[in-house]
Amino acid sequence: MKKLAIGYGALTGALLTAPLIALLFLARELAELPFPPYDLFDWMARVLPGALVTFGIDRMVDTLTLLGVSVADTAKTAEKLAAVILMFLMGVAGGAVFFAVFALRRARPDIAGGLIAGAMAGLPMAAISVAIEGSTINPLLVILWTVAVFLAWGWALREAYLRVIPAPSEHHPEGAQPASTIGRRQFLVRVGTATAVITVASTGLGTLLAGRARREIETAASSMAHQTVSTDPRLSFPNAGDPLMPAPGTRPEYTPLKDHYKVFIRSEPTVIDGSAWTLPISGEVDNPVSMTIDDLRNNYEPRDQFVTLSCISGRIGTDLISTTMWTGAGLQDILADVSPTEKAQYLFIRSGDGFYETVDLDLIASDSRIMLAYAWDGNPIPIDHGFPLRIWLPDRYGMKQPKWITEISVVEDYRDGYWVERGWDKVARVNTTSVIDTVAQDAVYESEGRTLVPVGGIAFAGARGISKVEVRVDDGPWREARLRSPLSETTWVLWRYDWPFEAGQHKFEVRCAEADGVPQIETERGNRPSGATGIHEKHAKL
Ligand SMILES: Nc1nc2c(c(=O)[nH]1)N[C@H]1C(S)=C(S)[C@@H](COP(=O)(O)O)O[C@H]1N2
Ligand SMILES: [Mo]
């Protein structure tokens, strides 16, 4: 009977947890309530050791890459699926444990038993949601809703137990059919049907509503757009006159916004209502302020900058690198207005998703390009990329550059940022890297009696510029590639090398040097803690 009870408990857990998750999803889309599966998953990612989380992410990226799917598009989907499955399995386990406990004790659970089980799940879950959602949702609402929902789950678990597990008096000698078998079967079929209906209906309705809040904010943001940048950056590329055409198959020099890579710590991007948002800058300052997005736009000379941003977790040849035009207010100008005190040493920046970083005031003083950016590609920064405000630091990996900024404190003491606390580099200066995008076998052409294959890609050295790119085929001599002038001194450089065609299987390698001649590090090194180094290679059969 005990084994049977565990089995029925697991089944009941499954039948109750599926509609629970679906209802939580619907509630989130209807009323912007928290979605515990994501919160639990995000919380685990936050509290587990950084090395373990990175390991997990890397294995997932490897798997996705092996499956041949785009990491950028699929990683978050896989993560969300994992979050939902995790909560479902916890519900299955919870049901099994509940049934096992009472079957072992040969006790009938009373209402309190069910509610206690619900509270044991609901209270920690509520605490986790409050911790993760931070100030974005009213904590009292989060607690009430989460606890209520899980209490209902516990209550239903107990009701199911009473119907599924026969009372001890009904026990029959081995082999005899318990009288309740038929009733139990009918009950489970009924619960199963109700489960299916609720799960499908809630998921369907939730999907229909999905992204409602987000769309409202997007509409509001785009109505601000006309105040942003006057010219379309794509109409005025500064290097438009450069005659060097990239090899066919080279990535776009200016990344279409929808293709810009995305990295964020939570399962979903953080949605901030730009019209209600203000940025407090306080702490070690003589003149604390609170700025609206219009203050930042109107009171400071807008700075446009073509920027290549990259992620420290990318391996050699990664997709986690993109280029667009950033517009914002110079941080030196803003600091001049708030006037830091003698003691001030750092900015401590907090974000709406719980992310944080420290920026050295000396760094800001040394580089007038550092800005608080409110526009990308001439429009308000997209929600996924940090609407309404993010910082830009030239020459640093993305991990040092908070999106969705909600608060800036000027402080005396240094504090490690979110990823630094999890074992990544304190400075996170971009490693110089070069990548082969294409060996354009379909674009082979004749020139001066020779057959040439265009080979091309990018090279990037943060804000240090690129002076040279070299290509080597089959371990032969390094040959210099031609460089296209970049969009700015802080973007990648497109290069091209036309290789004399030889049929067969070949290995192509690339390396580069910074503007002052410092070569890229050729030694192969993994991404953690300071970003990957090594030579990118591509194999092609011609
Ligand atoms: N608030 C916040 N800012 C953040 C992050 C984040 O998770 N939360 N991720 C950082 C990392 S690791 C990178 S690589 C860049 C990515 O910016 P993007 O998604 O706009 O490309 O944002 C950085 N800023
Ligand atoms: Mo990153």
C-alpha distances (whole Å) from 6 to each of 11, 15, 93, 117 are 9, 14, 9, 16
What's residue 74's pLDDT? Answer: 74
* Best probe residue, ligand 1, of 401, 405, 424 (max atoms within 8 Å of C-beta): 401
Specify the residue for token string 């040849």.
317
Ligand 1 centre from 355 Cα, in Å?
9
Domain at 256-411: CATH code = 3.90.420.10
Ligand 2 centre from 262 Cα, in Å?
8
Ligand 2 centre from 263 Cα, in Å?
6
By the 8 A CB rule, do 459 and 466 touch? yes
Q: Which amino acid is it at 175? A: G
Integer Cα distance of 156 and 186 in angstroms: 16
Per-residue burial over 81-95, b = 16 or more CB atoms within 10 Å of its CB, e = otherwise: eebbeebbebbbebb
The answer to whether 256-411 and 433-541 have equal CATH topology is: no
What's residue 202's pLDDT? Answer: 95
* Dihedral pair phi/psi, residue 40, rounded to 5°: -60, -45
Atom of ligand 1 nearest to the CA of 264: 7
* Dihedral pair phi/psi, residue 104, rounded to 5°: -60, -45
**CATH class of this structure's domain 433-541:** mainly beta
Q: Where are the alpha helices (DSSP H) in 210-272?
A: 212-224
Nearest CA to ligand 1 atom 1: 403
Ligand 2 centre from 75 Cα, in Å?
14
This prediction has a pTM of: 0.90
Q: Where are the alpha helices (DSSP H) in 67-110?
A: 71-104
By the 8 A CB rule, do 42 and 267 touch? yes
By the 8 A CB rule, do 328 and 374 touch? yes
How do the domains of the chain map onto residue ranges?
2-169+176-217, 256-411, 433-541
Q: Of all helices (H) and strands (E), which one includes residue 446?
A: strand 445-447
CB atoms within 10 A of CB 336: 11
Per DSSP, the residues of 413-444 read S----HHHHTT--SS-BPPPEEEEEEE-GGG-
Integer Cα distance of 321 and 244 in angstroms: 22
Integer Cα distance of 288 and 252 in angstroms: 43
Q: Which amino acid is it at 398? A: G
Pocket of ligand 1 (CB under 6 A): 260-265, 309, 311, 351, 353, 355, 385-386, 398-399, 401-404
For the chain, the average pLDDT equals 92
Spans of the chain, pLDDT less than 50 = 175-176
Integer Cα distance of 460 and 521 in angstroms: 12
What's residue 166's pLDDT? Answer: 83
CB proximity list for 523: less than 8 A, separation 6 or greater: 533, 534
By the 8 A CB rule, do 83 and 40 touch? yes
Q: Say which ligand is closest to the CA of 402.
A: 1
What proportions of the chain, in percent to the nearest 5, are helix, strand and coil? 45, 20, 35
* Best probe residue, ligand 1, of 311, 324, 418, 419 (max atoms within 8 Å of C-beta): 311
Nearest CA to ligand 1 atom 24: 402
CB atoms within 10 A of CB 107: 11
Nearest CA to ligand 1 atom 13: 398
What's residue 169's pLDDT? Answer: 64
Q: Say which ligand is closest to the CA of 312.
A: 2
Task: Give the pair of three-digit tokens for residue 439.
Answer: 């060996």
Ligand 1 centre from 396 Cα, in Å?
12
Atom of ligand 1 nearest to the CA of 402: 3
What's residue 134's pLDDT? Answer: 77
What's residue 64's pLDDT? Answer: 78
Ligand 2 centre from 440 Cα, in Å?
30
Ligand 1 centre from 445 Cα, in Å?
42
Nearest CA to ligand 1 atom 16: 263
Integer Cα distance of 280 and 299 in angstroms: 16
Atom of ligand 1 nearest to the CA of 322: 21
Integer Cα distance of 122 and 86 in angstroms: 15
Task: Give the pair of three-digit tokens for residue 531.
Answer: 């970003």
Q: Of all helices (H) and strands (E), which one includes residue 124?
A: helix 111-133
Ligand 2 centre from 225 Cα, in Å?
27
Q: Of all helices (H) and strands (E), which one includes residue 335?
A: helix 331-338
Ligand 1 centre from 323 Cα, in Å?
14
Specify the residue for token string 């299916």.
196
What's residue 232's pLDDT? Answer: 63
What's residue 178's pLDDT? Answer: 52
Angle at CA 33, nearest 5°, toward 30 and 35?
A: 105
Residue 134: is it exposed, middle or buried by C-beta count within 10 angstroms (0-12/13-18/19+)? middle
CB proximity list for 247: less than 8 A, separation 6 or greater: 437, 438, 440, 443, 454, 455, 456, 457, 496, 497, 498
Atom of ligand 1 nearest to the CA of 403: 3
Ligand 1 centre from 430 Cα, in Å?
15
Of the chain, the percentage scoring pLDDT greater than 90 comes to 79
Integer Cα distance of 424 and 478 in angstroms: 33
What's residue 234's pLDDT? Answer: 58
* Best probe residue, ligand 1, of 264, 350, 430 (max atoms within 8 Å of C-beta): 264
What's residue 175's pLDDT? Answer: 47
Atom of ligand 1 nearest to the CA of 270: 1
Considering only CA atoms, which of 427, 496, 509, 434 is closest in space to residue 466?
434
* DSSP label of 285: B
Three-state secondary structure call for residue 337: helix
